[in-house]
Amino acid sequence: MQMIYNSPNYCVVEFPPDAGHLAMRSGGYEIVDKNTQREIYIDGAVAARFRESVQKLIEEEPSLDEVDEFLGQFDSLMFQPVVLH
């Protein structure tokens, strides 16, 4: 796993594909909203669309606020509380 984005509001971690693990064949992303302490894990087709959208966004050289705004579209899907081990 690799942290690919970290701001005061959000953190995004990328999980690479793992052919030896059924659930991780295509890899995925964990998006954490630090303010609400909620997160979502996306994989498969959703992760592929997320990856494409992020690549397009990066080409525009966005500010942190613009990236946070983009990630904010996932807020309503974040039901899993962040739990520290």
pLDDT in tens, 16-46: 876 565 555 667 999 999 999 999 999 888 9
State percent of the chain over pLDDT 90.
Answer: 67
Mean pLDDT (the chain) is: 88
Number of domains in the chain: 1
In a domain, 53, yes or no: yes
In a domain, 85, yes or no: no
Provide the residue range defining the domain that includes 7.
2-80
**Quick one: pLDDT at residue 72?**
95
What span, in angstroms and rounded, lies between the C-alpha atoms of 48 and 62? 20
Rounded to two decimals, the pTM is 0.84
Q: What is the mean pLDDT of residues 45-65?
A: 93
Which residues of the chain form beta strands (DSSP E)?
A: 2-6, 10-15, 28-33, 38-43, 80-81
